[in-house]
Structure 1
Amino acid sequence: MDTQTSGTAPVLRTADSDLEIRKLRRHFGHFDILFFLLCTLVGLDTIGTVAARGPQAFTWMIVLAIIFFVPSALLCAELGSAFPQEGGPYLWVRLAFGHLVGAVNTFMYWVTNPVWFGGTLTVSAVTAFTTFFRDGRPFGTLGFYLFTLGFVWFGILTAVVSFRIGKWIPVLGGWTRLALLILFTGTVLIYAARHGVHGFGLADFTPGWSGFVALVPVLIFNYVGFELPNSAGDEMVDPRRDVPAAIFRSGVLAVLLYALPVLGVLLVLPTKAVTGLSGFLDAMRQVFSVYGGSTGPDGTVTLTGAGLVLGGICAVLFILTLLSSGVAWLMGTDRALAVSGYDGAAPRAFGVISERLGTPVRVNLLSGLVSTGVLVLAHQLTGGEAAKLFGAVLSLALSTTLLSYLGIFPALHILRRKYPDVPRPYRVRYPRTIGWLLTALIAFATVQLLLPGIGAHWFGPGYAPSGWAPSERWTYLATEAIPLVVFVLIGVAFWFAGAPTRRRS
């Protein structure tokens, strides 16, 4: 493998890479990157999970925005503008640590998204549809699979088509986020003026250790993704100029678009009534009753008239928002895995770009198959219990995502040392400190996902992870740890499978 600096960034020059890169087209401009990042960073499926921890969740959201979100934006701005080739996060890890670490890290980075798309996002979408269009009545088995498989494969086909066309789904998703959250926030103000809100004092915002332990994994999961557009680096018009600018603008918008709906949920619903799966949806139903609807003695909300219409519109916006999140992540991570295929860190068969479409169609279809498998398996194992399915798949997606950043974040300092002469349009001060701060937070969050509450509650009598019985906590650990071990082994197998490509290069 010939790695040259050429006075700019290291260029991976092989016959395989030349064959595939020439099929790419530059369609990815500043406007596209900005909205792509909004879809990457602002995922509404976890708002209920965050709000369920009460007012201190808002405090921890702001704290982690300062100590994690901002440093990660600075780090990705440097890496993305200095090393802008296709495959972004794979390239950075591979250049810093070699093919083996690059193979394992990229497989973990990729597999998160079909798992998340087929599990958490799809379950959230079907819950939104049944909540607003079926009065909360769940689908039967056939209806469930028709809806969910349609959702999954529409997203996959969007990732398959030319990036010139497919990029409009993330652009649409950016606008749906803005429309939905502006409408929701404005309606909360109207609701508060008419009915009042659930009161809490400043003391309720005081951050506590138990809240930090519970919230740090999901908040960090919400706050990662600045690196994703660089997976399409050779499809960007001007990455050295556009990446830093888009990162900083999307970062400010992302914090606002998370903070406002979480605060709105806390104002409208009592904390004990907020659930991870439907917390945001329940708050939407509650506030839209101001336009038409009523609340029964048991707290059940029935929408009528304009409330029913606006609620339905917002449900559609919510589903489109979920779809665009999944599509944006699939577009990015599928490209990273494809680059690892033609660079010798995965089977060469995966590293093929379609001549006609300019997309990694084989990896796209593999993502669709994995998403479908996760959807069917999780639905069967949980007996169709949506809340349990949501929680189990979300935890697995969180852990695989966070583990992949254990390779990405330390790469900044390593690449500074290995390639000191590479021009850096944007440079971070204190790269080693930032890299290790982010890595330490990621490591802590990963441990808390595997053993939630360790250091406080895990070994206590009667303790159980959220949504699980005390007798099931070791089962929970198995559902998290065993897939992670399997994924690492698959990553190693991919590295072995890439040996012929490395030798040929």
Structure 2
Amino acid sequence: MSEVQPLSGNWLDERTHLRKSLRRTDVTFYLLCTLVGLDTIGSVAASGPQGLVWMVILAVVFFLPYGFLTTELGTAFPVEGGPYVWTKLAYGRLAAGVNQVLYWLSNPLWMGGTLAIIAVTTFETFFLPLGVVGKIVAGLVFIWIGVAAVAASLHVGKWVPIAGAYARIVLLGFFMISVVVYAVKNGVQPLSGTDFIPTWSGFVVLVPVLIFNYVGFELPSTATEEMTDPQRTVPFAILRAGVSAFFLYGGPILGILLVVPAAQIQGLGGFIDAAKQVLTVYGGSVAADGTVTLTGAGAVLGSVCAAGLIIGVLTSGVSWAIGAHRAQAVACADGAGPAYLGRLSEKHGTPIRVNVLSGVLASVVLVTALNLTGGDSEKYFTAGLALVICTTFISYLLTFPSMLVLRHRMPDVDRPFRAPFAWLVTILTTGLVAFTVVVLIWPFELPSAFEGQRTEYTLSQVVPLLIVIGIGFLFYALGSPTRERDRELTSTSA
């Protein structure tokens, strides 16, 4: 790998601040925290039992091929920056730089969008109501706690996603146990066999959310040079975290379908509403109109579960930020962005400048979106989640095919793991993310929160995407001094 020399510019100096901090088990739990997204469970359950069927189908035609693809790339090119390095080697620095900005900016959009609003909504549901100003304050606190966690040294910061993985296991495990107790006491919602038949409309609605919940395998490779034995660690972590994530995600979806009437399940509140309802077995009641009141032990456990859910969505954002921010810092230090953002903290070895900028952007997203929607959380959640998925998946349109491109361009590079059926793997993964981008920008059926407002919905996706792509080209232009320095050094050494 040393003969490839994929990175240049200021990165050769910045990489000296890195420290080996990630062991095999660390990476496994880090991935588990990344893959099990608590923010999308309700969205899948809202589509009914066929959501479970599509989850299984997509596990075969997307999740498994995606694991093969990222395992090959991560073990063949074990260099800090992961996806940025792969796309640079395949297509050049300009394409990789713009692509990396899309990948990076999806994180502050996610933190300031869907994750913050889920945390705030959960707080309102279990603790006390907040007005628009209260939502903004609570959301900002949520965002900047995440910023602080990502800024810490990796040997400290890694414990945030590890704790998040354990929180998921405990929270979702307790939820499933409570579903069983609730079912024994109160019965369950009747589910017809025909409800499980997959439909085209279900496919269109569910593919974006399910695939989004299945992505994240490439994130450990953004910190490859901070990992012990990455060529063995990456395959180990992907296999174990992938299998665990499938069951941790599917169980709660089934639980929601069993206890919450289908007409009451919403994308934002599905998991929250189900948790409240099942916890009534410990103390509380459900009124005729579906209103849930928790009392006694039910109220106490409800507060504990609410705190666990808030921690869960916070650690989701932190785990993605740890990877996305590192890859962006590598890109900037390599000349695909402003050198200022490519600097690592000498003390912590983390990209604090990218991290703080991301926090500022997430804060702007939060305040702007809540003001534009008048505090309408469901509308905000719908538009925000679609934009985050779209931004991330556009970057995958270059990243996924890079495996085949690099097999052709660099056939002699040692590949400890080679993805089977490489063409099929590439077509399935790239094709499904391309389809997702199309149906998110121009859905066949508008989300209920935007009924009759196609122009407003389309603008909520297209305008931010154009701005993000424009930032990518601006960053590349600002990286020209670093590239010029590289050319001078190359000509001098020659």
Instruction: Give CA deviations for 1:311-365 in whole Å, capped at 9, x if unaligned.
Output: 1111111111111000011111000100000111111111111111100010000
Please tell me whether residue 265 in structure 1 is matched to residue 264 in structure 2.
no
TM-score (norm: length of structure 1): 0.94
Which residue is 1:20 aligned to? 14
Matched residues in 1 for 2:2 and 2:299: separation? Answer: 61
495-504 or 472-481, which deviates more: 495-504
Please tell me whether residue 451 in structure 1 is matched to residue 450 in structure 2.
no
Change (3 A) 1:333 1:193: same
* SS of residue in 1 equivalent to 2:6: strand
Amino acid corresponding to residue 482 of structure 1 in structure 2: V
Which residue is 1:489 aligned to? 470
Deviation at 1:303, TM superposition (A): 0.6
* SS of residue in 2 equivalent to 1:197: coil
User: Which residue of 465, 469, 474 maps to 2:451?
Assistant: 469
CA contact (8 A) 2:68 2:420 kept: no
Deviation at 1:297, TM superposition (A): 2.1
Matched residues in 1 for 2:433 and 2:16: separation? Answer: 36
User: Which residue of 265, 281, 300 maps to 1:290?
Assistant: 281
Instruction: Give CA deviations for 1:10-43 in whole Å, capped at 9, x if unaligned.
Output: 3335351221000110101111101110111111
Percent identical pairs in the alignment equals 49
Which residue is 1:55 aligned to? 49
Please tell me whether residue 67 in structure 1 is matched to residue 58 in structure 2.
no
Please tell me whether residue 178 in structure 1 is matched to residue 169 in structure 2.
yes
Which residue is 1:217 aligned to? 208
CA contact (8 A) 1:32 1:167 kept: yes
Please tell me whether residue 238 in structure 1 is matched to residue 219 in structure 2.
no
- Where do 5+ consecutive residues of structure 2 fail to align? 487-494
* SS of residue in 2 equivalent to 1:383: coil
Change (3 A) 1:441 1:306: same
TM-score (norm: length of structure 2): 0.97
Which residue is 1:201 aligned to? 192
Please tell me whether residue 426 in structure 1 is matched to residue 417 in structure 2.
yes
Matched residues in 2 for 1:124 and 1:434: separation? Answer: 34
Aligned residues: 486
Amino acid corresponding to residue 146 of structure 2 in structure 1: G
Which residue is 2:90 aligned to? 96
Instruction: Give CA deviations for 1:73-124 in whole Å, capped at 9, x if unaligned.
Output: 1111111111111100111111111111101110000000101001100110
Which residue is 1:163 aligned to? 154
Which residue is 2:75 aligned to? 81
Matched residues in 2 for 1:145 and 1:449: separation? Answer: 27
Matched residues in 1 for 2:295 and 2:263: separation? Answer: 26
Which residue is 2:218 aligned to? 227
Which residue is 2:101 aligned to? 107
CA contact (8 A) 2:45 2:256 kept: yes
Deviation at 1:498, TM superposition (A): 1.5
Deviation at 1:145, TM superposition (A): 2.8
User: Which residue of 114, 119, 122 maps to 1:125?
Assistant: 119
Please tell me whether residue 143 in structure 1 is matched to residue 143 in structure 2.
no
Matched residues in 2 for 1:336 and 1:227: separation? Answer: 11
Amino acid corresponding to residue 176 of structure 1 in structure 2: A
Matched residues in 1 for 2:155 and 2:201: separation? Answer: 46
* SS of residue in 2 equivalent to 1:420: coil
Matched residues in 1 for 2:448 and 2:400: separation? Answer: 29
Deviation at 1:307, TM superposition (A): 0.9
Matched residues in 1 for 2:478 and 2:422: separation? Answer: 34
Matched residues in 2 for 1:108 and 1:326: separation? Answer: 16
Deviation at 1:218, TM superposition (A): 0.9
* SS of residue in 2 equivalent to 1:258: helix
Amino acid corresponding to residue 478 of structure 2 in structure 1: A
Deviation at 1:201, TM superposition (A): 2.0
Matched residues in 2 for 1:58 and 1:29: separation? Answer: 33
CA contact (8 A) 1:412 1:432 kept: no
Amino acid corresponding to residue 94 of structure 1 in structure 2: K
Change (3 A) 1:203 1:34: same
Deviation at 1:497, TM superposition (A): 1.6
Which residue is 2:490 aligned to? none
- Where do 5+ consecutive residues of structure 1 fail to align? 458-463
* SS of residue in 2 equivalent to 1:11: coil
Which residue is 1:503 aligned to? 484
* SS of residue in 1 equivalent to 2:343: coil
Amino acid corresponding to residue 342 of structure 1 in structure 2: A
Please tell me whether residue 392 in structure 1 is matched to residue 392 in structure 2.
no
* SS of residue in 2 equivalent to 1:343: helix
Instruction: Give CA deviations for 1:416-458 in whole Å, capped at 9, x if unaligned.
Output: 11111111111111212211221111110110001111xxx5x
Amino acid corresponding to residue 61 of structure 1 in structure 2: M
Please tell me the root mean square deviation across aligned C-alpha atoms, in Å: 1.1
Matched residues in 2 for 1:485 and 1:146: separation? Answer: 29
CA contact (8 A) 2:391 2:465 kept: yes
Deviation at 1:495, TM superposition (A): 1.5
Matched residues in 2 for 1:6 and 1:187: separation? Answer: 53
Mapping 1:353-364, distance limit 5 Å? 353-364=344-355
Which residue is 1:370 aligned to? 361
CA contact (8 A) 1:409 1:436 kept: no
CA contact (8 A) 1:465 1:473 kept: no
Matched residues in 2 for 1:365 and 1:158: separation? Answer: 11
* SS of residue in 1 equivalent to 2:10: helix
Matched residues in 1 for 2:244 and 2:226: separation? Answer: 24
* SS of residue in 2 equivalent to 1:294: strand
Mapping 1:245-324, distance limit 5 Å? 245-324=236-315
Which residue is 1:41 aligned to? 35
* SS of residue in 2 equivalent to 1:432: helix
Deviation at 1:6, TM superposition (A): 3.9
Matched residues in 1 for 2:421 and 2:195: separation? Answer: 35
* SS of residue in 2 equivalent to 1:288: helix
CA contact (8 A) 2:6 2:89 kept: no
Which residue is 1:440 aligned to? 431
Deviation at 1:143, TM superposition (A): 2.8
* SS of residue in 2 equivalent to 1:12: coil
Change (3 A) 1:386 1:6: closer
